Amino acid sequence: MKSIYPAKILLLSVLMMSGNSYGQNEFPALEDRYLGQKPPGLTPKKFAPGIVSTQEHSETEVLFLPDMRELSFTRSGGKHKEPTWLVMQYKDNRWSEKSIPSTDINKYKERFSPSVSEMKGLEPFKDIPIVGFTASPKGTYYFYVLDFKDGSGHMSYSRLIDGKYEEPQRMSKAINRGKYIAHPFIAPDESYLMWDAEKDDENTPDIYISFRNKDGSWGEAINMGDTINTAAYEQRPKVTPDGKYLFFWRGDKKVRKDGSSYWIGNPHWVDAQVIENLRPKQ
């Protein structure tokens, strides 16, 4: 296996993870951190109605930079015949849309979500059909492979040991259950893992969480409950860089009269206390 430059791993980890390493003074003031929105409680709400979440469009997940001074999402539908990627920036004590030159968009997107191609260029991942991943501050990758035709696939992990990545290890059946297992998020201290999947006899994904046991093994997958998981699609869980809120996407698939389909949905947020409420007492 090739040696990995620590600086590159650190960069990937910073980009992917919620940032406990950031001091409060490096974030915008708390009341400004989320476009000035009233924080949710333990019941999820659409994020920033009329600004990010709209009735006439469908918006994807919201992604924050580690210092929370920029956020991004994609909007489609209505006048947006093609998906439009939008960035909002906190500058001079206010939020506004940031214009990104078309020639820089792909590179700029990697600030919010590093490309899988970066990871797949490393040993021992080159021959694995990885779809997506999350990385811990220590450089551990949690990634998934997925066959979109039948939903089969699994999640694996690989630790960075002495500058080299170990051979990937498939995660236990506590996590690899059901189909369409995807979109992992690892806690900064690796004490819990969230993802979405369709369990047996289900036809829409729910969000699940597993907590790490004292012996290092992973506990059984826990459905995150009826307030988060509904009959719609719930996907892409992520905790904000300040650790305060859980963001996820909720939506549904609609079918037109001509048989074609389209998606509706918006980003939602909820107090991250919902995670602690599920953590087993030890």
5 pLDDT exceeds 60? no
Mean pLDDT of the 17-31 span: 65
Mean pLDDT of the 27-36 span: 91
- Say which residues have a Cβ less than 8 Å from residue 158's Cβ, sequence separation at least 6: 124, 125, 140, 141, 143, 165, 166, 167, 168, 169
Record the tokens describing residue 115, joined without a space.
């490309």
Domain that holds residue 163: 6-278
Question: For 12, how many CA atoms within 13 A lie in the half-sphere containing its CB?
Answer: 23
What pLDDT is recorded for position 261? 87
What pLDDT is recorded for position 14? 43
Listed in sequence order, the DSSP H helices in the chain are: 6-16, 105-112, 116-120, 273-278
Whether 95 maps to a domain, the answer reads yes
Mean pLDDT of the 144-163 span: 97
Whether 234 maps to a domain, the answer reads yes
What pLDDT is recorded for position 16? 45
Whether 118 maps to a domain, the answer reads yes
Whether 1 maps to a domain, the answer reads no
117 pLDDT exceeds 90? yes
What pLDDT is recorded for position 262? 87
Could you tell me the pTM of the whole model? 0.90
What is the enclosing helix (H) or strand (E) of 84?
Answer: strand 80-91
Q: How confident is the model over 221-278, as pLDDT tens digits?
A: 999 999 999 999 999 999 999 999 999 999 999 999 998 888 999 999 999 999 999 9
* More confident call, 116 vs 10: 116
17 pLDDT exceeds 60? no
| Cα 105 from chain centre | 20
Whether 152 maps to a domain, the answer reads yes
Burial class, 191, CB count within 10 angstroms (exposed 0-12 / middle 13-18 / buried 19+): exposed
Number of domains in the chain: 1
CB 65 within 8 A of CB 108: no
Mean pLDDT of the 143-170 span: 97
- pLDDT band of residue 4 (cuts 50, 70, 90) is very low
Whether 60 maps to a domain, the answer reads yes
**What's the DSSP call for residue 188?**
T
Q: How confident is the model over 52-108, as pLDDT tens digits?
A: 999 999 999 999 999 999 999 999 998 998 999 999 999 999 999 999 999 999 999
170 pLDDT exceeds 80? yes
